[in-house]
Amino acid sequence: MARRLPEVGGAYIQMEDELASMAAIIGASYAGIKSMTATSGPGFSLMVENIGLAVMTEAPCVVVNVMRGGPSTGTPTSTGQQDVMQAKWGPHGDCEIIALAPASVQEMFDFTVEAFNLSETYRVPAIVLADETVGHLRERFIIPESSSLKIRERKKKQRDLSSDFQEPELVPPMACFGEGFKVFATGLTHDSQGRPDTRSDAHSVLVTRLCEKIRKNSDRIAHVKQIYMEDAKVAVVSYGSVARSALEAVKMARKEGMKVGLLKLDVLWPFPERQVEDVASSVSRIVVPEMNCGQILREVQRVAGISKVVFLPKVGEHVHTPFEILDAVRG
């Protein structure tokens, strides 16, 4: 089923399953259209195989995953942050993706726009990794005039299909179907023109570039917000709906005279390593509240060191309360 949305110049299509929806947005992307799909929990698991195809074919697209409790069917109507590592490591093989973690209705809008911009810029799947609490929020938010939005478009192929990929971002221009080119798009290892080439050296060149185009630009992509961090001796590192409780806990701690700050991770992948490292060098302790058994925790520990990090897990149907985080801050 498809329905035209004339007011935004787009359409939505209801697919029979998540595998098909992911395949459909890859095809739409190669037809020159900005495309996205949305799911949660088990549905995201079904999309993972074709997310790998999008990585290999360098098809810009956006996936919204509203996380809930798992594994399997889990708690289908409750919140969680249990898909963080799956978003990064779900597809088999070496690959890099981009994942943003909104904490409000406004950020759901803003981060979706940014997800499209990043996806188009780097020709990679971008994931809006929300959680159920954010997904069901009702808040006022501002939709800016379309003329004020900063919109980035993919770099289009203008003449021939050959390319040496020596551009600064390691992202080749894209030739789409129907634009006068013979377009090759395959999940197999391929050469610079998209033709299958499964030799060892060809595979090394291709996969290395697919990873490096994100890794070498991680400082441009990764974004965090630092709140009350100027004089902080303790930092709370959080994302998504938990960051809302964390901010309130930080304010409460400040009223008690404690020098506590918040490092809110807007982008989870690529992990904002440099920003976390800078914070770790200036504080004595880092508190990481997460609605899982420890996922982004591992990245924080890797960068900051295990001894500095205090983990506050919560697995169930509720977000951390500010009081729970405040207790962890007090130590």
Fold of 226-330: Rossmann fold (3.40.50)
Angle made by CA atoms 119, 106, 117, in degrees to the nearest 5: 15
Sign of CA dihedral 37, 54, 298, 43: positive
In this prediction the pTM is 0.92
Distance separating alpha carbons of residues 281 and 255, to the nearest angstrom: 24
User: Per-residue pLDDT averaged across 84-111, rounded?
Assistant: 97
Is residue 206 over pLDDT 60? yes
> Over the chain, what is the mean pLDDT?
92
Phi, psi of 238 (to 5 degrees): -150, 175
Distance separating alpha carbons of residues 62 and 132, to the nearest angstrom: 18
Total Cβ atoms within 10 A of residue 33: 14
Q: Which helix (H) or strand (E) holds 30?
A: helix 18-30
User: Per-residue pLDDT averaged across 246-256, rounded?
Assistant: 98
Is residue 161 over pLDDT 60? no
Is residue 204 over pLDDT 80? yes
Is residue 237 over pLDDT 60? yes
Which ranges of 64-104 does DSSP label H, i.e. alpha helix? 84-89
How high is the pLDDT of residue 322?
A: 98
The partner residues of 68 in beta bridges, in order of sequence, read 79
Q: Where are the domains of the chain?
A: 1-221, 226-330
Distance separating alpha carbons of residues 19 and 50, to the nearest angstrom: 7
How high is the pLDDT of residue 5?
A: 45
Report which of residues 168 and 72 the model is more confident about: 72
120-158 pLDDT, tens digit per residue, is 999 999 999 999 999 999 999 999 999 999 999 999 887
How high is the pLDDT of residue 8?
A: 46
Q: Of 2.60.40.2470, 3.90.79.10, 3.40.50.970, 3.40.50.12780, which CATH number belongs to 1-221?
A: 3.40.50.970
Does this chain's domain 1-221 share its CATH topology with 226-330? yes
